Chain A
């Protein structure tokens, strides 16, 4: 996916004035935030499960190589082929080759954010293979030629009317605006694709080391058809998705749908293990698992390793006040919200995503709701530290901080300068006691007044009070 994160500031400002988006975001906030709260309240031991899950994910990341090799051995034993891709290009080349070797013409796909990372659809289409997204949201976006704006609800930014127009253009049928009827229409159109596909491409929410299983959580059941109907099943997933056992999955699945969509359970859990056995009726003849690094190993053992715990629920963005106001596209790459503000600089370079770690008030909601307790504000702050150390933020910003420090560490200088500043700013505030414009602080004063300071600092007033008290002492 093309990186546009460097335009965050300008794009986010425009998104604030996009009426369709703002309506969609308000609707989504109600659904995701309230839904999660209700679903979490069902479980007394929620905090214990979070703690356990975080430790589980940490153990996996610390032993990633061992669990991945265990997975490979067990997957191979069941007839799968495991491929290792260090980069997006390698991953695409592997998948395209599998398709070409097998004369694949149509590939159906269930939702995969990793495939967005590596821009798999573009690579497949470049060699003439038709790729059909079968998750309803992803299908809508494929028709609209847009990237997803949310990792769980990719088309959350679209209105029903926009979707109706897309369907008319693509399907050539009468315009429907009743959602169940529109969904039925999409099902009818997709059915022939499901049945005619030579290859099914799925992501994986988890891959299970002890059984060699890959696992997909959906609400539409499309992953069932993608993984079992075509003669070739290809899984694309990040290397960090591995977990040791099915038992561990039982833990994580208590957290994932509740955190993601406020559901106690997702509608479909699709577990795929190996190829069709001789006595089985359904299943692929070939199963390929492409394990993708694409920057992940840079995090292993680093001071941001906690990010690899992520199970891609989207709760951090759903609760983020910045995301709630600007939506996912403003973030300019695959992963929006706080998780994206940590991952995007890692995967595409901080020089391309400099505003993202700064696009947070550090309100802490993301960390509170994260099912695997990723300290997202701390990780964003680590990016800010690197930016400061490497002089990657604008000069004015770094200069201000250095000046602030120079004054704050010299109490006499600080006292004298705040004494002047308080007076000047108080005068500047005029009769109405509000400052409507401040040079250099127009980021504030463009949309807000600054209540005028009282005129004298606490330090001055307190010192006067102490002197007065001393004089009156007997």
Chain B
């Protein structure tokens, strides 16, 4: 099974460890993983800034890069939503390319969703021995566009994690891509609300499936002087790669 890894621009630039963790999870599960070298961005920043044509150009580029794969996996619900939902339901809807994007969408999966619902894994091979207590932030696109909710929790629990659900775990952290810069004060307040809920959960480890949200929340934790609460991507935890 040839699986294309869509690394995502944020993981590539900021925390490559997440990409390698995703790679390990897929390879350990028996996938042959390819990582097209020319990949850059799914186009969502342009799309959500109103630059529709730019988003289409980048979507076509992604399509060309992953056309030959049996599956495409991304360690992000947000980029996955862009390709699985917005590319077909909006950008190319009713256009000649729609069918091609539909077939790409059908084989594109967010990482935890792929492990659980395509590979039918109920416990990740080579999962670390003891993950311990954590709290999980549901990122909006993954949750509401793709239904990512039980998948990461199931795999984390199977690996021995104790999940302390925080209040409003499904509430937006305030990232929202360019929103976090355009309306920084509101974005910061939303991140602050998230930090309060994380602290109240009792867990000292936050896990999530989208690096954008994690950077936003971690950035607020650190600004508040909280250097203790660990912030990890789901892939890093499952692959036992939290110490990179």
Residues of A within 8 A of B (CB): 9, 12-13, 16, 321-322, 325-326, 355, 358-365, 367-368, 378, 381, 383-389, 393, 397, 401-402, 404-405, 407-409, 411, 414-415, 418, 421-422, 434, 436, 441-444, 446-451, 453-454, 456-459, 461-463
Contacts and interface: CB of A to CB of B under 8 A. Distances in A.
B51 A405 contact: yes
Chain B interface size range: 35 or more
B179 A361 contact: yes
A363 B176 contact: yes
B47 A9 contact: no
Nearest to A12: B186
B65 to A, nearest CB: 9
A458 B48 contact: no
B92 interface: no
A25 to B, nearest CB: 11
Contacts of A325: 186, 189-190, 193
B222 A434 contact: yes
Contact of B57 (A322, A409, A447): A409
A447 B191 contact: yes
Contacts of B231: 451
A416 to B, nearest CB: 12
A288 B211 CA distance: 58
Interface in B3-55: 7, 9, 11-17, 19-20, 23, 35, 37-41, 43, 45-52, 54
B180 interface: yes
Given A381-B50, A404-B46, A448-B216, A359 B186 contact: yes
9 contacts: A362-B140, A381-B48, A401-B54, A418-B12, A418-B13, A447-B184, A448-B191, A448-B219, A451-B215
A448 B188 contact: yes
A15 to B, nearest CB: 9
Given A12-B185, A458-B20, A411 B215 contact: no
Nearest to A463: B37
Contact of B185 (A16, A321, A453, A463): A16
B140 A384 contact: no
Contact of A361 (B16, B174, B219, B222): B174
A441 B219 CA distance: 13
Nearest to B65: A411
Contacts, number: 195
A456 B47 CA distance: 27
B243 to A, nearest CB: 13
Tell me what chain A mostly uses at the interface: helix, strand, loop, or mixed: helix
A378 B46 contact: no
A458 B186 contact: no
Contacts of A457: 12-13, 16
Given A12-B183, A463-B37, A360 B14 contact: no
Contact of A360 (B17, B19, B51, B176): B176
Nearest to B54: A405
Given A397-B178, A444-B181, 10 more contacts: A358-B179, A381-B48, A385-B51, A447-B192, A450-B215, A451-B15, A453-B15, A454-B17, A459-B37, A462-B23
B64 to A, nearest CB: 11
Interface string B145-157: 1000000000000
A381 B47 contact: yes
Interface in B181-212: 181-193
Contacts of B216: 448
Nearest to A412: B38
Given A361-B174, A361-B175, A453 B183 contact: no
Contacts of B14: 422, 451, 453-454
B137 interface: no
Contacts of A436: 223
A387 B50 CA distance: 7
B58 interface: yes
B7 to A, nearest CB: 5
Contacts of B11: 458
9 shortest A-B CB distances, which residue pairs? Answer: A361-B176, A447-B188, A443-B184, A388-B50, A384-B50, A448-B219, A458-B16, A363-B172, A411-B38
B138 to A, nearest CB: 10
Nearest to A435: B219
Nearest to B194: A321
Nearest to B175: A361
B161 to A, nearest CB: 22
A22 to B, nearest CB: 9
Interface in B55-77: 57-58, 61
B218 interface: yes
Contacts of B190: 321-322, 325, 361
A414 B40 contact: yes
